[in-house]
Amino acid sequence: MTTLAVIDWQSLITRDMIIPALRVALLLGIGLPAVIITAALVGRATAKRLSAQSAMLARKAVLYFGIIVIFVAVFQQTGYKLTALIGAAGIAGIAIGFASQTSLSNIISGIFLISEKPFQVGDIIKVGETKGTILSIDLLSVKLRTFDNQFVRMPNETLIKEKVTNITRFPIRRVDLNIGVAYKEDPKKVRDVLLDIADKNSNCLDEPEPLFRFVNFGDSALEFLFAVWCVKSDYLKLSTEMMLEIKERFDAEGIEIPFPHRTLYTGSATGPLPIRLVDSQDKQISKSESSQL
């Protein structure tokens, strides 16, 4: 206690120390908020002219560059030699690089993704089993929001390696409907009914024209592909509407949608399979017979 009391603080804090300290305080107190505000302004200004992804990149570039400049200036004010720091950072960088190969791979993949632009913020993509809307494309990962409102972080490396489907890249989409009708139905009538349904639905685009294709003589049904086009935002609505309208019209027109069924026969050598109708009395008899056996 006595030792502290005798320390001459005024002799320790010299004028040479106060001025750099004030400069550091100014740099951190004014410079950092200024950089954050500038980055936000750049983000806002570029949002109108560039895509959401490019605006985000511009904002982050300004922010990170500004922060680096301020910290370099702070180090200079505090008397640290930057050459030594950079040298140390280089050695540390090699060490960290070996230790974080995955992260570096993600960063490089991220740079490729940003330059190649296979998708942008707001697009709906499908990667493997995951489907969702892109929230952000960052240096290490892409963030998605799935349709059941889950957050998915997908490493950039995965996106470079895997097949990525951008569902909303183009403005229109095709709704494919696989339809089966009973063998007794007239395929031409089915085609006319389907085309009429598409014609009457205002969300179904007249052009490109709907596609009707006789796909196969299936096990239980004549199988068709009926494909109609819509604006990408109407995809779910149109696919549901078409299914409902097809069922309704097929019922009205008497067109049977068959369920899978199987016909058993014993071949031409024998007659039809013998069938014996069994009533409840017979059942009791047969039970008693079987019990005696």
Partner 1 sequence: MHPELYNQHKVEPEQYLSAQIGPLELWIRHTGDEFHVAVKRNAHSENVIETSHPEPVKDTPDACLSWSRWVVGQNFDTMQLLPVMPDRPVVVRPATPVSIPTGNEALFFVAVPIWVDISVFGPAKVTLLQAPSVVLSDTWFGDPMTGELCYSMRTRARRKVSDSPVRPHRVLCPVLIRNTTTEQLDVERFCVHIQNLTVYAGQSRLWTNEVRISFRGENETSQVKYVESAPEYEHIDRLLSNPRAPQKKTLLQRSFSTFRLFGGEGE
Specify whether the backbone of 149 is left (phi greater than 0), alpha (psi in -120 to 50) or beta. Answer: left
**Considering the complex, what minimum distance in angstroms separates the CB of residue 211 from partner 1?**
6
Amino acid at 216: N
Closest approach, Cβ 217 to partner 1, in A, equals 16
The residue among 139 and 225 lying less far from partner 1, judged by its C-beta, is: 225
The least CB distance from residue 227 to partner 1, in Å, is 8
Q: Cα–Cα distance between 101 and 94 in angstroms, integer?
A: 11
Looking at the Cβ atoms of 120 and 201, the one nearer to partner 1 is: 201
CB closer to partner 1 out of 145 and 169: 169
Q: How far is the CB of 53 from partner 1 (least distance, A)?
A: 19
**Which residues are within 8 A (CB) of 254 and not within 5 positions of it... i.e. 6 or more apart?**
none
Report the nearest approach of partner 1 to the CB of residue 83 (Å): 53
Q: Which is nearer to partner 1, 105 or 201 (CB)?
A: 201
State in angstroms the smallest separation of the CB of 176 from partner 1: 8
In the block, tokens 């006789």 appear at 214
Q: How far apart are CA 199 and CA 193, in angstroms?
A: 10
- Helices of type H across the chain: 2-6, 9-12, 15-26, 32-49, 52-77, 82-99, 101-116, 156-161, 187-200, 235-253, 280-292
Token pair listed for 250: 């097929």
For partner 1, the binding residues (CB under 8 A) are 170-172, 176, 199, 201-209, 211, 213, 215, 225, 227, 229-231
Q: 51 or 203, CB closer to partner 1?
A: 203
User: DSSP letter at 254?
Assistant: T
For partner 1, give the closer residue by CB, 33 or 122: 122
Q: What is the largest CA-CA distance in the chain?
A: 121
